[in-house]
Amino acid sequence: MRPLHVLAIGALVLPLSAFAADPHSFAQPDQVRVTHLDLDLKIDFPQKQLDGKATLTLEWKNPKATSLVLDTRDLKIASIEGIDAKGHANALKFALAPRDKELGSKLTIATPTQPAQVRIVYSTVPTASGLQWLTPEQTADKKLPFMFSQSESIHARSWVPLQDTPAVRFTYTANVTAPKDVRVVMSAINDANHPLDGNFSFNQPHPIPSYLLAIAAGDIAAKETGPRSAVYAEPSVVGKAAKEFEDTEKLIATAEKLYGPYAWDRYDLLVLPPSFPFGGMENPNMTFATPTLLVGDKSLVSVISHELAHSWSGNLVTSAAWRDIWLNEGFTTYVQGRITEAVYGKTLADEEALLSARNLQKTIGAMPANAQRLAPEPRGIGADDSLSEVPYDKGSWFLRTLEQRFGRETFDEYLKGYFNHFAFQSITTEQMLDYLKANLFDKNPGKMSWDEVKAWVYDPGIPKNAPLPDSPRFDAIDKERAAFLAGTLAADKLDAKSWNTQEWMYFLDGLPDVAPLDKLKQLDATWHLTGTPNAEIGMRWYSHAIAAGDKDVWNAAAEHMSRIGRLYLTMPLYKAFARTPEGLAFAEQVYAKAKSGYHPLTQQAVQTLFAKAKKGDKTEK
């Protein structure tokens, strides 16, 4: 923060950094803005590349501007031409700057006549950070190769040259060619009955930011789950996925009752191979999801509630920069809880809120002060680093506080108005706060001080008066865990037969960082946690067992790490192993075998961890 350099707008005091150009993009949207993208792509599985032609429709903001600046990362640019309003094309000069480690290469195109469109012919590289290429052997059905994208946060630039900042929204169309028998899907309207003839066309009529541009291709089947939803997955997975997500229409209808009509027509789900690095990605019209959600009892379907909630908070109203990402993730986590409560009950919603809050209380103190803020000073924070627990869990906690102070009915009406007012726009934290003050605080005085709001948003840590929901079941688990650790309650006397996934997560999360080995052995002998198919429970169990020195779990932990590429469920095990020389050596062996099946983001995270461990860096806890 730079408190001496501020600008007052209405009742708000805005840091000048809020108005600065996105530090994670070379683009200059104040000079010229991309409004539409037309893509022609050819998927080349043997070469692991996309051969592309991107035609960008431009809106010139500055009549004196003579160049268009785009973001790229490792793209091979073959040619660029400008197209005037009459459709005449002329070659344009361009320069590709040296590669920046985080941002990629700045592409500057000379545009002295300010063309209506610019067309770029290019190809990607096999190591593109936003794409993963899988061989048939790395898929569930082992029949065809598979490719999928992950553009958030700034990885779209690795497969399309564009203004890769959430401040810029554009519509798009795409024509994609692929081998026959391969289905291609994108973050647009998809046709479950499209013939697998190698030619696919897509249209996204709503303006989206670049990080929501998505594509996948492979042996993908489709199964309808409702009048406006379907599940896409490999043939052996699609039936199980459709069963797990059969409540999708109910989730959509519930969200609509709370926050207004669903604006995107269809809401489909693509279940990706296990290497997908996240739980879900809220690509418009088609959420990309991890198969680790398929546990058979719908206990992890809140991830789908979360990605669906993004259809309002994030996709409809978008953070203008990664510094403001809590506007996406905090609002979405709050809405997720409301959907979960309405469909699956208050007990589950409160348990999930408590799990996230307790975890944040445990971890936030170890973060740098700036990273603890909802709206941090953007300098020094990478775009990917912005996606910590803080925007999700502190952001949603703040909104739950507002709901408690103003009352649910009043807050619901405010939130519905907020989504409607800023629909299909990208906004800053300060714009959100300006609207909050005018439409909630000024209309309902005396409920909460504005200083409290500023403390939530701009101060590090969690306010001392932050409210938490009650959970009698969690309270009972706290008592049982304490008695178990004290030796007054045996493992087989734990009332765990009826525990759901969240309750097992809570029990394990509350164990000491290094729990007594004998206690963990007793727990495993009774409840058979080693080898669990539930990845949420497995991640927690193996992390504790490794920390306690239980080598008997190492092979099962390695199987977990090799089978699952989701960062959240895999990295804690690598971190646990990396704390000892022997564990680090074992983890390196596991990684050597599993690496080819990991997403580039997962590979980068593991390699960075290993490098820190070898330097003796003790910050990885």
Q: Maximum CA pair distance of the chain? A: 83
Residues 206-224, buried b or exposed e (16+ Cβ, 10 A)? bbbbbbbbbbbbbbbbbbe
| Dist CA 457 CA 619 (whole Å) | 26
| Dist CA 243 CA 232 (whole Å) | 12
| Dist CA 208 CA 167 (whole Å) | 10
- Residues 248, 269 contacting (CB under 8 angstroms): yes
Q: What share of the chain is helix, strand, coil (3-state, %, to 5)?
A: 40, 20, 35
What's the DSSP call for residue 269? Answer: E
256 has catalytic annotation:
no
| Dist CA 15 CA 458 (whole Å) | 11
| Dist CA 323 CA 132 (whole Å) | 27
598 has catalytic annotation:
no
- Residues 97, 105 contacting (CB under 8 angstroms): yes
Q: What is the DSSP string of 478-543?
A: HHHHHHHHHTSS-GGGS--TT--HHHHHHHHHTS-TT--HHHHHHHHHHH--TT-S-HHHHHHHHH
- Active-site option among 307, 341, 351, 503: 307
- Residues 172, 36 contacting (CB under 8 angstroms): yes
Burial of 124 (0-12, 13-18, 19+ CB in 10 A): buried
| Dist CA 164 CA 555 (whole Å) | 42
- Residues 325, 386 contacting (CB under 8 angstroms): yes
What's the DSSP call for residue 98? Answer: P
| Dist CA 387 CA 207 (whole Å) | 23
Please state whether beta strands 268-271 and 131-134 pair in parallel, antiparallel, or not at all (unpaired).
Answer: unpaired
| Dist CA 364 CA 373 (whole Å) | 10
- Residues 25, 401 contacting (CB under 8 angstroms): no
| Dist CA 56 CA 395 (whole Å) | 35
| Dist CA 401 CA 452 (whole Å) | 10
Q: What is the gyration radius of the CA atoms in the chain, in angstroms?
A: 25
- Active-site option among 392, 418, 506, 591: 392
Residues identified as active-site: 307, 392
